[in-house]
């Protein structure tokens, strides 16, 4: 009698009470096929599934677990905070300490407001930009995902690339009125001429440009210096708000985020993931002049019962302390680069067209001859080869993002032993493609 796979049992059970059996679409394995792995525990760079099989984790909760799963220092901080209650709905000193720390690490952020998710951060930042400028239009870029607020679900990246019809300039989700997204202009990523043309025609009506400064929701795509400079110059010239969505890149690619690497000072910044150390925590912040328009000081309303949650604040503070230690990012970046170099060598040896890129502890790999620079280029990579590679690596005990449109993430616990094990698994998998 064949042994029943517990992941399959749990997935079948989950689908009875949870739509699609998951609480975030990409987890369902729809692009790659097969059965999602149900996690029972995680430690350092590993997690174990319902079959008690150990995997090397290369998504790290989609970025937050930069210090490794169940980091003992973070666990201790969370336990200590939980002993005094999980939530107050009132201010705490910890919130001030976290705000001060963020402002110190990111000089563009003069004031910051805590929220509970990246979607809440980007949604609130856009409302604030519109309230500050008195304008309606916003610009986003193809393949960039800024959470699931209605006005942002137009040619969006992440899991939506699996479900959306990318041939239509229409909402990439059901339930979003066409009339609502008419205030959202979608331009190609890295297209300087397109943004110059739009600002020439409609610059005085544009409230904000929201940008993933390093895209991670159509795999990892880096912007050109010319693209970033054009956006900063045009938004400044026309009085539009430049919003850096660093929910993914903030404290992940560098201690000061992508903006510290690029030399760009945005007007508003959205943060999440790493800043909460794995707890539901996010924030948006920027110039005091703009932030002062928020209630209770101004007319732009934003509120949240669990904003500044003390347990999440404790996890965030300890995580920011850990990543601020000397040599942290040099080590993280070095190990991630070593991993990408090893994967590329293994692919070359097997004669598989393959390209890689990484910034800090964030990486992308592509079944293509060169690294893509746009949404269109990403969609032309060999998705079928990725699907096969994903399952071969899964069999080898390496858990990659279950979508070709997602960046990957390492942690400080991905040491040489772990990196070498991943490369060995890839070497075996490439030979079978």
Same-domain status, 66 and 76: no
Out of 286, 304, 323, a domain closes at 323
Residue among 289, 316, 328 nearest 101 (CA): 316
CB of 137 closer than 8 Å to CB of 202? yes
Same-domain status, 423 and 278: no
Same-domain status, 48 and 170: no
- Just list the catalytic residues: 145, 245, 273
Same-domain status, 108 and 217: yes
pLDDT in the model for residue 160? 44
Out of 291, 323, 355, a domain closes at 323
pLDDT in the model for residue 49? 98
Contacts of 137 (CB under 8 A, 6+ apart): 183, 184, 185, 202, 205, 206, 207
How far apart are the C-alpha atoms of 273 and 63, rounded to whole Å?
6
CA 140, 142, 147 angle in degrees (round to 5)? 60
Q: How many other C-beta atoms are found inside a 10 Å radius of the C-beta of residue 39?
A: 16
Same-domain status, 286 and 297: yes
Same-domain status, 290 and 160: yes
Whether residue 1 lies inside any domain: the answer is no
pLDDT in the model for residue 180? 67
- CATH of residue 45's domain is 3.90.1150.10
Same-domain status, 346 and 248: no
pLDDT in the model for residue 166? 39
Domain count, the chain: 2
- Helices 416-432 and 328-350: crossing angle, nearest 10°? 20
The pair of structure tokens assigned to 187 is 């331009």
**Residue range(s) defining the domain that contains residue 370:** 6-70+326-432
Same-domain status, 260 and 280: yes
The pair of structure tokens assigned to 126 is 């856009």
Low-confidence ranges of the chain (pLDDT < 70): 1, 149-151, 153-173, 175, 177, 179-180
Same-domain status, 99 and 246: yes
Same-domain status, 84 and 65: no
- CATH of residue 81's domain is 3.40.640.10
Query: CA 393, 398, 403, 409: dihedral to nearest 10 degrees?
Result: -140
Which CB contacts under 8 angstroms, 24+ apart, belong to 96-104? 97/313, 97/317, 98/275, 98/308, 98/313, 98/316, 98/317, 98/320, 99/285, 101/317, 101/320, 102/271, 102/275, 102/283, 102/285, 102/320, 103/285
How far apart are the C-alpha atoms of 33 and 302, rounded to whole Å?
40
pLDDT in the model for residue 200? 96
Q: Residue 61: exposed, middle, or buried by beta-carbon count in 10 A (0-12, 13-18, 19+)?
A: middle
pLDDT in the model for residue 4? 92
333 alpha carbon, distance to own chain's centre: 17
Same-domain status, 51 and 99: no
Out of 288, 323, 358, a domain closes at 323
Same-domain status, 301 and 426: no
Whether residue 191 lies inside any domain: the answer is yes
pTM beyond cutoff 0.85: yes
pLDDT in the model for residue 354? 98
245 alpha carbon, distance to own chain's centre: 9
């Amino acid at each position: 009698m064949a042994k029943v796979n517990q992941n399959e049992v749990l997935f079948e059970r989950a689908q009875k009470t949870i739509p699609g059996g998951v609480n975030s679409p990409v987890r369902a394995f729809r692009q790659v096929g097969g059965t999602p792995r149900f996690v029972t525990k995680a430690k350092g760079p590993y997690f174990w599934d319902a079959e008690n099989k150990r995997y090397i984790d290369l998504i790290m909760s989609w970025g937050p677990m930069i210090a490794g799963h169940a980091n003992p220092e973070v666990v201790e901080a969370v336990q200590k905070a939980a002993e005094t209650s999980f939530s107050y709905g009132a201010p705490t000193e910890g919130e001030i300490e976290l705000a001060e720390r963020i402002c110190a690490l990111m000089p563009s952020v003069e004031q910051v407001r805590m929220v509970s998710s990246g979607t809440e951060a980007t949604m609130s930042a856009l409302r604030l930009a519109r309230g500050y400028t008195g304008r309606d239009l916003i610009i986003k870029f193809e393949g960039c995902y800024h959470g699931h607020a209605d006005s942002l679900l137009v040619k969006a990246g992440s899991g939506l690339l699996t479900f959306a019809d990318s041939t239509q300039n229409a909402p990439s989700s059901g339930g979003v009125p066409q009339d609502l997204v008419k205030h959202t202009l979608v331009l190609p990523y890295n297209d300087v001429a397109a943004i110059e043309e739009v600002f020439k025609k409609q610059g005085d009506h544009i409230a904000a440009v929201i940008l993933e400064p390093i895209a991670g929701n159509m795999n990892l795509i880096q912007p050109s210096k010319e693209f970033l400079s054009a956006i900063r110059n045009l938004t400044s010239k026309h009085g539009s708000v430049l919003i850096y969505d660093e929910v993914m890149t903030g404290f992940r690619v560098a201690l000061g985020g992508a903006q510290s690497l690029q030399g760009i000072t945005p007007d508003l910044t959205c943060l999440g993931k790493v800043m909460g150390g794995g707890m539901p925590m996010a924030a948006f912040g920027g110039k005091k002049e703009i932030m002062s328009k928020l209630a209770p000081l101004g007319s732009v309303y934003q509120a949240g019962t669990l904003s500044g949650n003390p347990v999440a604040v404790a996890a965030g503070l300890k995580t920011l302390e850990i990543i601020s230690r000397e040599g942290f990012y040099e080590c993280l970046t070095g190990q991630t680069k070593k991993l990408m170099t090893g994967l590329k060598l293994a692919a070359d040896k097997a004669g598989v067209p393959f390209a890689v890129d990484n910034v800090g502890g964030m990486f992308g790999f592509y079944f293509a001859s060169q690294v893509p620079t746009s949404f269109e280029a990403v969609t032309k990579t060999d998705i079928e080869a990725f699907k096969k590679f994903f399952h071969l690596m899964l069999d080898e005990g390496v858990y990659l993002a279950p979508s070709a449109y997602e960046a990957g993430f390492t942690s400080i616990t991905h040491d040489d032993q772990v990196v070498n094990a991943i490369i060995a698994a890839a070497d075996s998998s490439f030979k079978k493609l």
